[in-house]
C-alpha cells in the first residue's frame, strides 16, 4: 500500500482515508465493526471522524461515531494499528462549539473518553472560529501536543486567507502549525480548492485530505437523475449535481471506467490521488463490498489521457 506524509508531521498514511461519518448513522455498531475489521485486513488504517458525527441523524446528539470507534478499539485491542483523525468546533449542543481554549480543553477530553484512547493522531479544527484569536487556539493545541494527547493538528473548511493567517501566527508565536487541510474537493467541486487553497497548501507543504470525494455519492455512477437519488440519506445534497455539467462529468467518468475496467467511484478517487497536492481523499462505505471497491482505487493508476479527459469534462468550475 502506497504511503504519503501528513504535511511535515512525520505521520505516514495510506493514499485513501475511510470516512467515519457513517458509524452510528447509516452503519449500526455491528456493521461498523465489520467495516473497520475489513479496512485493516485490506491494508488501510487511516480513519477520519469528528466529535459532532452524527448529530444530524434523528435521535442522535453527536459523538456516536467516536463512541463506535472507541468500542471497536476496546474490543479488538488494536488502537496502535490505526491512524485516527477527529475534529473539534462543530456544535455539540448549546454553548458547546468553537475553538476557544476553554472549549477545546473540554472537547478533547470528551473525544478521548468516547474513543477509549489516550491520544489522537490528527486533531482538526472542523470549522474556523473568527471570534477566537488564532494564537489562543494554537496555544491550547501546543499544550495538548506537549501532553501527548494529540500528535499533530489540521484545519477543515478554512478559507485560504484564514489558513494563511493561522500559519503565520504559528510561525510568529513559535506555536504548532496546521499540518493538514480538509477541504471539499472532488471531480465536480473543483474551484473552491484549486483557485486559492491549493497554492497555500503547496507553498507550506500541508497534507490535503479532501472530503465529499465522491460528491455525496454522485460520482459513484449509481444515480443518473435526482429522482433515482431521492431515497438516499443525502438526497438533498445530491440535487445540485444533476445538471448539464454534472451529466457531462458523469459521462466522462463512466467512459474512463469502461476503458480501464474499473468502477466510476474508483476512477473518481484515482483522479484525486493523481493530483500531486492531494495526500488521501476521504470516502465512506456502508457495506464490506463497497469498501473493497474503494480499496481498489488505491491500485488504479490513471493514464494521462484519462486524467486530461476528466479535467476537460469538469473544467468549467476552474478559472482559466
Residues with a catalytic annotation lie at 53
Say if CB 187 and CB 253 are below 8 A apart: yes
132 to 50, 53, 165: CA distances (angstroms):
20, 23, 13
Please state the φ and ψ torsions of residue 89, each to the nearest 5 degrees.
Answer: 125, -35
At what angle are helices 64-76 and 101-115 packed, to 10 degrees? 40
CA distance 103 to 20: 23
Q: What secondary structure does DSSP assign to 119-130, as a single string?
A: -EEEEEESS--T
- Under DSSP, is residue 153 helix (H, G, I), strand (E, B) or coil? strand
CA distance 118 to 112: 6
Angle (nearest 5°) at CA 210 between 207 and 214: 150
CA distance 69 to 75: 10
Say if CB 79 and CB 117 are below 8 A apart: yes
CA distance 186 to 272: 7
Amino acid at each position: 500500500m502506497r504511503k504519503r506524509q501528513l504535511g511535515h508531521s512525520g505521520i505516514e498514511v495510506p493514499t485513501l482515508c475511510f470516512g467515519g461519518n457513517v458509524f452510528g448513522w447509516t452503519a449500526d455498531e455491528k456493521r461498523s465493526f465489520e467495516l473497520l475489521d475489513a479496512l485493516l485486513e485490506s491494508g488501510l488504517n487511516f480513519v477520519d471522524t469528528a466529535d459532532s458525527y452524527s448529530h444530524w441523524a434523528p435521535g442522535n446528539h453527536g459523538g456516536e461515531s467516536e463512541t463506535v470507534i472507541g468500542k471497536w478499539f476496546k474490543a479488538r485491542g488494536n488502537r496502535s494499528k490505526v491512524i485516527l483523525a477527529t475534529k473539534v468546533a462543530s456544535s455539540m449542543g448549546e454553548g458547546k462549539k468553537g475553538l476557544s481554549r476553554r472549549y477545546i480543553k473540554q472537547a478533547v477530553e470528551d473525544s478521548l473518553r468516547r474513543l477509549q484512547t489516550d491520544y489522537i493522531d490528527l486533531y482538526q479544527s472542523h470549522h474556523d472560529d473568527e471570534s477566537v484569536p488564532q494564537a489562543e487556539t494554537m496555544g491550547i493545541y501546543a499544550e495538548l501536543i506537549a501532553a501527548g494527547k494529540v500528535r499533530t493538528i489540521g484545519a477543515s473548511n478554512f478559507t485560504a486567507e484564514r489558513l494563511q493567517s493561522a500559519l503565520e501566527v504559528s510561525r510568529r508565536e513559535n506555536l504548532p502549525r496546521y499540518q493538514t487541510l480538509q477541504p471539499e474537493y472532488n471531480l465536480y467541486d473543483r474551484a473552491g480548492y484549486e483557485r486559492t487553497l491549493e497554492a497555500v497548501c503547496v507553498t507550506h507543504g500541508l497534507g490535503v485530505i479532501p472530503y465529499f470525494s465522491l460528491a455525496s455519492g454522485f460520482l459513484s455512477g449509481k444515480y443518473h437523475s435526482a429522482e433515482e437519488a431521492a431515497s438516499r440519506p443525502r438526497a438533498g445534497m445530491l440535487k445540485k449535481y444533476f445538471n448539464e455539467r454534472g451529466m457531462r462529468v458523469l459521462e466522462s467518468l463512466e467512459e474512463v471506467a469502461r476503458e480501464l475496467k474499473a468502477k466510476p467511484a474508483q476512477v473518481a478517487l484515482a483522479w484525486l490521488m493523481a493530483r500531486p497536492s492531494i495526500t488521501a481523499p476521504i470516502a465512506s462505505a456502508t457495506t464490506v463490498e463497497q469498501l473493497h471497491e474503494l480499496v481498489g482505487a488505491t491500485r488504479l493508476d490513471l493514464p494521462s489521457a484519462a486524467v486530461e479527459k476528466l479535467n476537460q469534462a469538469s473544467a468549467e468550475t476552474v478559472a482559466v
